[in-house]
Amino acid sequence: MSSQNKIFLSPPHMTGKEFSYIKQAFDTNWIAPLGENVDKFEHQIASFVGSKGAVALSSGTAAIHLALAVLGIKKDDKVFCSTLTFIASANPILYQQAIPVFIDSEPETWNMCPEMLLKAFKVAEKEGELPKAVIVVNLYGQSAKMDEILAICNHYGVPVIEDAAESLGSSYKGKASGTFGKLGVYSFNGNKIITTSSGGMLVSDDKELINKAQFLATQAKDKASHYQHSTLGFNYRMSNILAGVGRAQMEVLKERVFLKRSVFKKYFNELSTLPGLEFMPELEGTVSNRWLTTMIINRNKSLVSSREIIQKLVENNIEARPVWKPLHLQPLFKGRKVYLRDDRFSENVFENGVCLPSGINMDSSEQDRVINLIKKSMSVVMS
């Protein structure tokens, strides 16, 4: 069995056109973190998602860091952040020496729970110290409940940073995911829906913030022919070579979303009737890019645990993983404040969640291999 091809969780998928844009960079000798590919890639993203400005960066993490920096987040400021997410959503809070406060997820989107967010705001208000920003994550392509979350944040006058690293190509009520906050973040890491091998993008309708981010990303160089610096900057711009990869990848983004959704649909059609198996929902009015197909195993209805299913798949040369470990459970964030629901939803998803192989270059027989193994491992019935 394990002699069969390895099936990966979300491998990169090149279109073949990347080389022509990379070649352009070489032909014109623009091998710097600026040039035509960078400009064109920024325009492509901005026009695709409908934002006024975009700046291409070396990673999604850098984009989150700059979002905090341009909002003026500094030492000891509080920043609210989804707890059910990848560590990169919150690490930049620590880069700024600010204080993360984590918010639980809710069952309809697996993302930030508006009730817990409101509770956190009320406590912060009573303590006389509101957060300076809220980082909202759109997990595995699914948008958070943006209307409810924005209503709360607007009421308190606190800006939202939308971590849309996993949700490029998704939408919420007809508007692109990543364009709801003051600033939005995309990632082009190797495992994301499109990739530049490593890269990120910061978007906003506020041109001033985008210009400021671009300034900070290029060492905060003052306008002078000599090298003069008055503020602390970073080296965070995207290489013109990698932006060439991004240009070709953007051309197929729409098709990628369709194919990712087809992968999900096949899993759903084959597996959703198994007792105890529940796929990540899609909130009404939203379209998820279904970057990863994920599910939870309801232990009241299944004798088999999520970890047993993962083990079974891994033994058969198939990459499957638990859902992100909530940040409030990470040793790095031990002792940090967290607002949990009574059902501790994020912890429940972590314990019982499975991420399934969702590569769009996975062929039908490979996906059948995954499906049949899940059917087999879940065939143990309750007596």
Judged by the rule CB under 6 A, the positions of this chain that interact with ligand PLP are: 59-61, 85-86, 88-89, 137, 163, 165-166, 187, 189, 200
Q: Report the residue number, 267 or 324, with the smaller CB distance to ligand PLP.
A: 324
Smallest distance, Å, CB 291 to ligand PLP? Answer: 9
Q: In what helix (H) or strand (E) does residue 295 lie, and over which residues does it extend?
A: strand 293-297
* DSSP code of residue 306: H
| C-alpha span between 182 and 239 (Å, rounded) | 25
Nearer Cβ to ligand PLP (60/244): 60
Distances (CA, A) of 203 to 89, 162, 216: 16, 10, 15
DSSP H/E element including 206: none
Identity of the residue, 202 or 378, whose beta carbon is nearer to ligand PLP in the bound complex: 202
Q: How far is the CB of 59 from ligand PLP (least distance, A)?
A: 3
Tell me the closest approach of the beta carbon of residue 137 to ligand PLP, in angstroms: 5
Question: Is the CB of 158 or the CB of 202 nearer to ligand PLP?
Answer: 202
Among 64, 60, 46, CA closest to 205: 46
CB of 382 vs ligand PLP, minimal distance in Å? 35
| Residue showing the smallest CB distance to ligand PLP in the complex | 60
Between the alpha carbon of residue 75 and those of residues 28, 124, 180, 335, the distances in Å are 43, 17, 26, 18
Q: Would you state the structure tokens that stand for residue 323, as one six-digit string?
A: 């859902």
Distance CA 15, CA 32 (A): 23
Minimum distance from CB of 138 to ligand PLP (Å)? 8
d(C-alpha 143, C-alpha 65), whole Å = 21
Between residues 159 and 302, which has the closer beta carbon with respect to ligand PLP? 159
